[in-house]
């Protein structure tokens, strides 16, 4: 089994990547503008539904039901899809999934496929694998086109090019046969339309992800905006859908919950422009060959973690990214994974499954634990809880001999006994001799990490407990 | 002395000196940070709670709730601290904490570490204690300054204190309360996050400071000295003249015994 | 090494998983609206689609009005006869039109399976008067007829009524994208103009 491509090989650790990103004022401006807009909109469409909290609880528990019963649900889905003329494949990891897809494409005797934006295929690095096999995969979602043509990496789950503003997009689109005349978003969208039209009409094979797969009806659901999804799902003769195993829902009825939760949480709309639902193959309508690739790639090992498994409830709405103060400032690429932001910080390390890797191990620390993500998550993933849980796993992986582990042990030893604690307090108050003019503005490392940008409190001579003892003891 | 979860409301028997004596028996958990670095906040808690009729105690065996350890990935070190907390604070009617994040640690996380305890159940963040347990909003405070309030993340999202601190502040005479723009944005402290991701933390702080300065307030207050240490440390570095003052100190301040700035 | 299928299912079964919790369905399974037709009209307009109201008997007249001067209009073969008003160059999808034919047409007329008032959504299920999916996708203009009795208020009511065995398309306004600065712009790949005729 190869390295899991869910985190990008060679990425710097989060603090290093963040430092670089923070220096990019254009990026910060773009992100601030985009996230501020969407936050306000999300709040108002969510406020329209009196039963939002009930829907969240239902969403949470349907997903928990799936996880508790995943083997059965997958088998039911397989039966339903097969009965309706689809073919189901299973892939243990990225390599296996990529090989299955490449074989299927080559069977159709084509070297070009159109793609609907899909996190699962981005996670496994499908485009690169197809390119290695001589197949050109054309992304058709506007933001993916921006990323692909810009030779860039995604920085957001829903809008992978969120880090780009209209002027930059115009520059990137200059390489199109018919480049846009201005940076008006309408003109940019028109340019993408023209660029992709021929591709849609001529492609023999399309590749998609899936937002949901319904076990009892075999229905696959793709939620989108632009119509590129509909094009891919209807025009080509062959459709290959790659779906994470956790995307299965038990019952058709469950869609009534998720089709309310998802659009309002992701694009902050009452409903996204287009949702396509199909089941197997429909004679005379749409692709006549349908393949469903069920992907594990670290999901079953995530399932095995009692606390961490809630990350598998995720419906990839990206609400947690949009409200995250860390994400807003560093952007998504700093996380070194197709899954950035709060969900990335808990999902990427679990899927990757290697906390000995410095970069992966830095992700659970990429949060101030402010809890804004948990508050908006439509399936109530307690992201701060999983973050601290994973931090504990990182600490365990690193062992007891790191400077931090030793400092933490020492601190715990001090806090373990009143006398030791009081002695340390007295020693701490000696730092006041470092202070000038009532402020403490320069401490030795690691305190310098604090005093580089902020003054530290001058620890007073008398602690509260000494005062209490003197006055009340 | 009363016992049990149900104890609430300040009884008003006063002794000759005007000090109420038989109110609920309240233990103070100022937190290790406040005990060590911000003793004025803890003293203000004592004044305030006694003024409201509580019988205040400070059990000397207390140290730390274990939050820093737990949040950094050292849950095993936090566990004995959680156990010690349950023992030290056992037997009081209530435990009051001038910190949303430490109160949250005790109430939400301690049970996971060492099971539920009466002490953890009876632990309240200061504004919750005043409004929900004592049932007071006007605590008789006087604080003639322009103030803006930063709702700390854990008080807001973990404990759900809502606008209790704001109601308390609105009832303070002489106080001009100025709303803080983007108030619910994190200040960037986050415990060891401030060191491990110092640059990101600083970027968050910069935005918070800009919002604070935009209000034109003289004082920024919050229910947590850790966040105030971050915001205040940044404001001090920039020599803005805006002072961080813990909510407890504002609520303790009266015309007779006004708040005085410590150097 | 066993098959991927057996191995994945095996990994799942090896996990100690708690019994599935009961799903609380105390959210609103149906919602009330004083005037669902009006609500639908308002919500569709929010997406910058244009909504026209018509009394049942004036429908053919309204269709003619909308399509006047639009040129060649594709249509599913089974739309009610009275919809195919004179004066329009109709292109019925029988025998099936080629993709290039559909590229050339100036628009498409269809009915729908139902509409969801609260979200401003029209659902097509390839049933009567709707045709194949591609027919309402490739042309740049889509005129959709919605009868008052096809309107439900909320998403759960729609899911309950829909038959999942055929392909379904939920349409909420014209094609749009939020990919540029997270702001919605209409008009990408799907029909850039969506007009809705609400009947009754
Ligand atoms: S974790 Fe929750 S909020 Fe974040 S993308 Fe997933 S479902 Fe959305």
C170 vs A37: CB contact, 8 Å cut-off? no
Preceding amide of C95 cis, omega within 30: yes
Helix H segments across A280-417? Answer: 299-303, 319-323, 325-330, 341-352, 358-362, 372-376, 383-398, 403-415
- Phi then psi for residue C75, to 5 deg, are -155, 140
Tell me which residues of chain B, numbers 61 to 100, contact chain A at a CB-CB cutoff of 8 Å.
Answer: 61-64, 66, 68-77, 80-81, 84
Taking the domains of chain B in order of start, what are their residue ranges?
A: 2-133, 146-252
Decide: A and B in contact? Rule: 3+ Cβ pairs under 8 Å. Answer: yes
Distance CA A349, CA A390 (A): 8
C120 C-beta neighbours (distance < 10 Å), count:
25
Looking at residue B263, its pLDDT comes to 61
- Phi then psi for residue A41, to 5 deg, are -70, -40
- Could you say which of C121, C171, C181 has the minimum Cβ distance to residue A166? C181
Check if A322 has its Cβ closer than 6 Å to any atom of ligand 1.
no
Decide: C and A in contact? Rule: 3+ Cβ pairs under 8 Å. Answer: yes
B144–chain A Cβ distance below 8 A for any pair = no
Please give the CATH architecture assigned to the domain spanning B2-133.
3-Layer(aba) Sandwich (3.40)
For residue B235, how far is its CA from the centre of ligand 1 (angstroms)?
A: 34
A256 vs C118: CB contact, 8 Å cut-off? no
Final residue of a structural domain among A253, A277, A299: A299
Distance CA B94, CA A220 (A): 54
What tokens does C16 get?
């100690």
Beta strands C176-177 and C141-147 are unpaired
B62 within 8 A of B89, measured Cβ to Cβ:
yes
Distance CA A296, CA C96 (A): 40
Beta strands C107-110 and C72-75 are parallel
- A361 domain residue, yes or no: no
- Phi then psi for residue B153, to 5 deg, are -60, -45
All chains having 3 or more CB pairs closer than 8 angstroms to chain C: A
**CA angle A120–A204–A80, rounded 5-degree value:** 55
- Could you say which of A158, A162, A226 has the minimum Cβ distance to residue C189? A226
Which residues in chain B have Cβ-Cβ distances shorter than 8 Å to A408?
A: 69, 72, 74, 77
Check if A320 has its Cβ closer than 6 Å to any atom of ligand 1.
yes
A408 vs B77: CB contact, 8 Å cut-off? yes
- C7 domain residue, yes or no: no
Shortest distance between the Cα of A440 and any Cα of chain C, in A, equals 42
Q: Which of A154, A160, A315 to mutate to test the pocket of ligand 1 (most atoms within 8 A of CB)?
A: A315
Chain A interface disruption, residue of B28, B33, B37, B220, most A CBs within 10 A? B37
Decide: B and C in contact? Rule: 3+ Cβ pairs under 8 Å. Answer: no
Looking at residue A73, its pLDDT comes to 98
What tokens does C163 get?
């038959």
Domain count, chain C: 1
Looking at residue A443, its pLDDT comes to 82
Please determine, for residue B16, whether its predicted confidence score (pLDDT) is greater than 80: no
Final residue of a structural domain among A299, A323, A351: A299
Across the range A166-171, mean pLDDT stands at 94
Which residues in chain A have Cβ-Cβ distances shorter than 8 Å to C166?
A: 279, 282, 285
**CA angle B253–B257–B260, rounded 5-degree value:** 70
Check if A315 has its Cβ closer than 6 Å to any atom of ligand 1.
yes
Residue B232: which of B254, B213, B255, B251 has the closest Cα?
B213
Percent of chain A with pLDDT over 70: 99
- CATH code of the domain in which C158 resides: 3.40.50.10420
Shortest distance between the Cα of A166 and any Cα of chain B, in A, equals 25
B20 within 8 A of B49, measured Cβ to Cβ:
no
Please, what is the angle between helix B75-88 and helix A403-415, to 10°?
10
Q: What is the 3-state secondary structure (H, E, C) of A176-205?
A: CCCCCCCCCHHHHHHHHHHHHHHHHHHCCE
- A107 domain residue, yes or no: yes
- A172 domain residue, yes or no: yes
A289: three-class secondary structure by DSSP: strand
Looking at residue C17, its pLDDT comes to 86
Strand-pair partners of A248: A213
Residue located nearest, by CA, to atom 6 of ligand 1 = A314
Burial class of residue A59, CB neighbours in 10 A (0-12, 13-18, 19+): buried
- C192 domain residue, yes or no: yes
Looking at residue A348, its pLDDT comes to 98
Tell me, rounded to whole angstroms, the distance of Cα A222 from its chain centroid: 18
Domain count, chain A: 2
- Could you say which of A143, A185, A301 has the minimum Cβ distance to residue C183? A185
Shortest distance between the Cα of B207 and any Cα of chain A, in A, equals 10
pLDDT digits over A187-223, tens only?
999 998 888 998 999 999 999 999 999 999 999 999 9
A162 within 8 A of A34, measured Cβ to Cβ:
yes
Check if A314 has its Cβ closer than 6 Å to any atom of ligand 1.
yes
Distances (CA, A) of B165 to B78, B127, C166: 29, 6, 56
Spatial CB neighbours of B69, under 8 Å, sequence gap ≥ 6: A408, A411, A412, B75, B77, B78, B81
- C15 domain residue, yes or no: no
Tell me, rounded to whole angstroms, the distance of Cα A302 from its chain centroid: 15
Written as tens digits, the pLDDT of chain C (200 aa) is 579 999 999 999 999 988 877 999 999 999 999 999 999 999 999 999 999 999 999 999 999 999 999 999 999 999 999 999 999 999 999 999 999 899 999 999 999 999 999 999 999 999 999 999 999 999 999 999 999 999 999 999 999 999 999 999 999 998 888 888 877 788 788 888 999 999 98
Distances (CA, A) of A82 to A87, A106, B220: 6, 22, 64
Which residues in chain C have Cβ-Cβ distances shorter than 8 Å to A97?
A: none
Residue B217: which of B147, B116, B149 has the closest Cα?
B147
A222: three-class secondary structure by DSSP: strand
Provide the number of CB pairs (under 8 Å) joining chain A to chain B: 182
C74 within 8 A of C139, measured Cβ to Cβ:
yes
Question: Which residue range forms the structural domain that includes residue C183?
Answer: 33-199
A91 vs C4: CB contact, 8 Å cut-off? yes
Look at A154-158, A309-313, B30-34, B244-248 and tell me which has the smallest mean pLDDT: A154-158
pTM of this prediction?
A: 0.95
Please determine, for residue A89, whether its predicted confidence score (pLDDT) is greater than 90: yes
B12 C-beta neighbours (distance < 10 Å), count:
9
What tokens does A11 get?
């990425």
pLDDT band at residue A429, thresholds of 50, 70 and 90? confident
Which residues in chain B have Cβ-Cβ distances shorter than 8 Å to A462?
A: 39
Q: Candidates 1.10.357, 1.25.40, 1.10.1300, 3.40.50; correct CATH number of B146-252?
A: 3.40.50
Distance CA C92, CA C78 (A): 9
A139 within 8 A of A117, measured Cβ to Cβ:
yes
For residue A40, give the H/E element and its range.
Answer: helix A25-47
Spatial CB neighbours of C58, under 8 Å, sequence gap ≥ 6: none
Q: Which atom of ligand 1 is nearest to the CA of A319?
A: 3
Average pLDDT, chain B: 92
Q: Which of A319, A323, A345 to mutate to test the pocket of ligand 1 (most atoms within 8 A of CB)?
A: A319
Beta strands A136-139 and A112-115 are parallel
Which residues in chain A have Cβ-Cβ distances shorter than 8 Å to B194?
A: 449-450
- C110 domain residue, yes or no: yes
What tokens does B96 get?
């009051």
pLDDT digits over A253-311, tens only?
999 999 999 999 999 999 999 999 999 999 999 999 999 999 999 999 999 999 999 99
Residue A39: which of A259, A319, A331, A317 has the closest Cα?
A319
- Could you say which of A37, A197, A279 has the minimum Cβ distance to residue C164? A279
- C-beta pairs of B78-83 under 8 Å, 24+ apart in sequence: B78/B109, B78/B113, B79/B113, B79/B114, B80/A412, B80/A416, B81/A412, B81/A415, B81/A416, B82/B106, B82/B109, B82/B110, B82/B113, B82/B114, B82/B120, B83/B113, B83/B114
B190–chain A Cβ distance below 8 A for any pair = yes
pLDDT digits over A336-394, tens only?
999 999 999 999 999 999 999 999 999 999 999 999 999 999 999 999 999 999 999 99
A372 vs B73: CB contact, 8 Å cut-off? no
Query: Is the ipTM reported for this complex over the cut 0.90?
Result: yes
A441–chain B Cβ distance below 8 A for any pair = yes
Distance CA C135, CA C132 (A): 6
- Pick left, alpha or beta for residue B66 (phi over 0 → left; psi -120 to 50 → alpha; otherwise beta): left
- Could you say which of C14, C182, C188 has the minimum Cβ distance to residue A226? C188
pLDDT digits over B49-86, tens only?
999 999 999 999 999 999 999 999 999 999 999 999 99
- C10 domain residue, yes or no: no
Identify the closest residue of chain B to A449 by CA–CA distance. B195
Check if A343 has its Cβ closer than 6 Å to any atom of ligand 1.
yes
Question: Which residue range forms the structural domain that includes residue A251?
Answer: 14-299
Shortest distance between the Cα of A333 and any Cα of chain C, in A, equals 17
Please determine, for residue A460, whether its predicted confidence score (pLDDT) is greater than 70: yes
A374–chain B Cβ distance below 8 A for any pair = yes
Look at A20-24, A97-101, A377-381, A425-429 and tell me which has the smallest mean pLDDT: A425-429
Check if A318 has its Cβ closer than 6 Å to any atom of ligand 1.
yes
Check if A317 has its Cβ closer than 6 Å to any atom of ligand 1.
yes
- Could you say which of B39, B184, B263 has the minimum Cβ distance to residue A463? B39
Check if A119 has its Cβ closer than 6 Å to any atom of ligand 1.
no
Distances (CA, A) of A354 to A5, A348, A393: 12, 10, 10
Residue located nearest, by CA, to atom 4 of ligand 1 = A320
B225 within 8 A of B31, measured Cβ to Cβ:
yes
A330 C-beta neighbours (distance < 10 Å), count:
31
A365 vs B193: CB contact, 8 Å cut-off? yes
Distance CA A405, CA B163 (A): 39
pLDDT digits over B185-233, tens only?
999 999 999 999 999 999 999 999 999 999 999 999 999 999 999 999 9
Tell me which residues of chain B, numbers 236 to 255, contact chain A at a CB-CB cutoff of 8 Å.
Answer: 236-237
The sign one gets for the Cα dihedral A399, A400, A401, A406 is positive
Residue located nearest, by CA, to atom 8 of ligand 1 = A317
């Amino acid at each position: 089994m190869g390295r899991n491509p869910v985190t990008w090989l060679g990425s710097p650790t989060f603090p290093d990547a963040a430092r670089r990103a923070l220096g990019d004022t254009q990026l910060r401006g773009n992100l601030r503008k985009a996230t501020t807009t969407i936050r306000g909109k999300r709040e108002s469409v969510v406020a329209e539904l009196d039963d939002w909290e009930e829907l969240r609880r239902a969403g949470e528990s349907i997903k928990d039901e799936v996880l508790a019963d995943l083997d059965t649900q997958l088998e039911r889905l397989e039966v339903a899809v097969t009965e309706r003329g689809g073919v189901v494949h299973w892939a243990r990891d990225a390599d296996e999934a990529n090989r299955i897809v490449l074989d299927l494409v080559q069977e159709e005797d084509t070297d070009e496929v159109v793609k609907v934006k899909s996190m699962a295929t981005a996670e496994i690095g499908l485009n690169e694998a197809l390119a290695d096999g001589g197949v050109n995969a054309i992304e058709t979602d506007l933001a993916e086109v921006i990323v692909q043509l810009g030779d860039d990496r995604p920085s957001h789950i829903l809008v992978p090019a969120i880090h780009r503003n209209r002027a930059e997009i115009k520059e990137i689109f200059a390489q199109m046969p018919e480049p846009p005349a201005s940076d008006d978003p309408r003109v940019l969208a028109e340019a993408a339309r023209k660029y992709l039209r021929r591709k849609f009409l001529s492609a023999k094979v399309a590749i998609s992800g899936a937002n949901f797969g319904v076990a009892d009806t075999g229905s696959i659901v793709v939620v989108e905006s632009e119509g590129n999804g509909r094009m891919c799902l209807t025009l080509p003769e062959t459709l290959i859908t790659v779906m994470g195993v956790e995307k299965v829902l038990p019952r058709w009825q469950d869609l009534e919950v998720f089709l309310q939760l998802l659009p309002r949480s992701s694009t902050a709309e009452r409903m996204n422009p287009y949702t396509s639902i199909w089941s197997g193959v429909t004679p005379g309508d749409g692709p006549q060959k349908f393949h469903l690739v069920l992907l594990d790639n670290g999901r079953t090992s995530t399932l095995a973690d009692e606390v961490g498994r809630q990350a598998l409830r995720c419906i990839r709405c990206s609400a947690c990214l949009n409200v995250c103060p860390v994400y807003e400032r560093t952007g998504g690429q700093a996380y070194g994974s197709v899954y950035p932001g709060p969900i990335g910080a808990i999902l990427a390390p679990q899927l990757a499954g290697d906390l000995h890797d410095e970069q992966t191990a830095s992700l659970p620390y990429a949060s101030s634990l402010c809890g804004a993500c948990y508050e908006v998550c439509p399936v109530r993933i307690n992201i701060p809880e999983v973050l601290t849980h994973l931090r504990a796993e990182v600490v365990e992986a690193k062992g007891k001999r790191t400077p931090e582990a030793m400092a933490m042990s020492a601190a715990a030893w001090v806090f373990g006994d009143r006398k030791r604690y009081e002695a340390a307090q007295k020693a701490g108050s000696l730092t006041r001799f470092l202070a000038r003019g009532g402020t403490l503005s320069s401490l030795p490392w690691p305190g310098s990490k604090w005093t580089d940008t902020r003054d530290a409190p001058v620890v007073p001579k008398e602690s509260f407990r000494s005062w209490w003892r003197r006055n009340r003891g | 002395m009363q016992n049990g979860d149900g104890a609430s409301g300040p009884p008003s028997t006063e002794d000759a000196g005007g000090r109420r004596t038989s109110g609920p028996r309240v233990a103070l958990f100022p937190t290790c940070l406040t005990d060590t670095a911000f003793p004025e906040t803890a003293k203000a808690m004592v004044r305030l709670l006694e003024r409201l009729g509580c019988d205040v105690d400070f059990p000397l065996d207390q140290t730390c709730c274990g939050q820093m350890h737990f949040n950094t990935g050292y849950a095993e070190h936090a566990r004995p601290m959680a156990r010690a907390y349950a023992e030290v604070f056992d037997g009081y009617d209530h435990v009051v904490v001038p910190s949303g994040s430490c109160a949250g640690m005790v109430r939400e996380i301690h049970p996971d570490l060492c099971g539920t305890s009466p002490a953890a159940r009876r632990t309240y963040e200061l504004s919750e204690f005043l409004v929900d347990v004592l049932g007071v909003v006007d605590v008789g405070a006087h604080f003639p300054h322009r103030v803006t309030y930063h709702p700390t993340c854990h008080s807001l999202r973990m404990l759900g204190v809502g606008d209790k601190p704001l109601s308390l502040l609105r009832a303070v005479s002489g106080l001009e309360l100025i709303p803080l723009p983007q108030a619910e944005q994190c200040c960037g402290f986050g415990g060891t996050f401030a060191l491990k991701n110092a640059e990101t933390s600083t970027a968050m702080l910069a935005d918070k400071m800009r919002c604070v300065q935009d209000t034109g307030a003289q004082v920024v207050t919050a229910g947590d000295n850790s966040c105030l240490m971050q915001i205040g440390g940044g404001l001090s570095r920039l020599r803005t003249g805006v002072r961080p003052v813990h909510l407890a100190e504002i609520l303790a301040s009266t015309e007779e015994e006004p708040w005085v700035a410590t150097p | 090494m066993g098959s991927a299928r057996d191995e994945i299912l095996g990994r799942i079964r090896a996990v100690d998983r708690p019994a599935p919790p009961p799903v609380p369905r105390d959210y609103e399974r149906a919602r009330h609206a004083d005037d669902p037709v009006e609500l639908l009209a308002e919500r569709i307009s929010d997406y910058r689609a244009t909504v026209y109201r018509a009394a049942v008997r004036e429908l053919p007249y309204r269709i003619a009005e909308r399509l006047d001067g639009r040129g060649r209009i594709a249509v599913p073969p089974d739309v009610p006869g009275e919809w195919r008003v004179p004066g329009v160059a109709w292109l019925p999808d029988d025998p099936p039109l080629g993709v290039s034919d559909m590229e050339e047409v100036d628009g498409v007329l269809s009915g729908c399976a139902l509409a969801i008032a609260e979200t401003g959504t029209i659902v097509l299920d390839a049933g009567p008067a709707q045709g194949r999916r591609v027919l309402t996708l490739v042309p740049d203009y889509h005129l959709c007829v919605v009868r008052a009795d096809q309107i439900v208020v909320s998403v759960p009511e729609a899911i309950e009524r829909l038959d999942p065995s055929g392909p379904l398309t939920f349409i909420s306004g014209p094609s749009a994208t939020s990919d540029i600065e997270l702001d919605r712009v209409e008009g990408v790949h799907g029909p850039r103009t969506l007009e809705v005729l609400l009947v009754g």
